[in-house]
Amino acid sequence: MAVPTGPRVYFQSPPGSESRGTEEEEEEEGPVRRQGRVTVKYDRKELRKRLHLEEWILAQLTLLYDCQEEEIPELEIDVDELLDMESDESRSARVKELLVDCYKPTEVFVADLLDKIRGMQKLSTPQKK
């Protein structure tokens, strides 16, 4: 059986745990360590793009609703939901449906949002099998 290769991370046992020896043994052997693995679920670049997009959406909504961030009506623009949709027309209709109570024109915001999400990847966590 092949041992997987890759970066390794070692975790120190917390003070007072049963896996540690006496202080004398610790000085001789060093701290007790157990091996662990680190996995990266998402690409940092994609996460950064998503963060910038969400900040942009928030800024645009404060302009559209002409209010402070805390006063924006409760609505959720789910980017992953939009990415799952078949066409820009359905995405556009969904965003306009969410912004139905906005008194300012939303067409420019919707078009810019669709441009920004084009080519993005979904970040939803995969379902366990």
Higher-pLDDT residue of 11, 52: 52
Cβ atoms < 10 Å from Cβ of 74: 4
Instruction: Give the closest residue to 99 by CA, choosing from 71, 129, 77.
Output: 77
Q: What sign does the dihedral 105-116-62-100 (CA atoms) show?
A: positive
CA atoms 20, 25, 30, 34: torsion sign: negative
Of 9-13, 75-79, 122-126, the range with the highest mean pLDDT is 75-79
110/113 Cα distance (integer angstroms): 5
Can you name the residues that pair with 35 across neighbouring β-strands? 10
Q: What is the pLDDT of residues 61-91, one digit of tens each?
A: 999 998 887 888 888 899 999 999 999 999 9
- What predicted TM-score, i.e. pTM, was given to this entire model? 0.62
Residues 42-60 have pLDDT tens digits of: 678 888 999 999 999 999 9
| pLDDT recorded at residue 26 | 47
pLDDT, position 25? 47
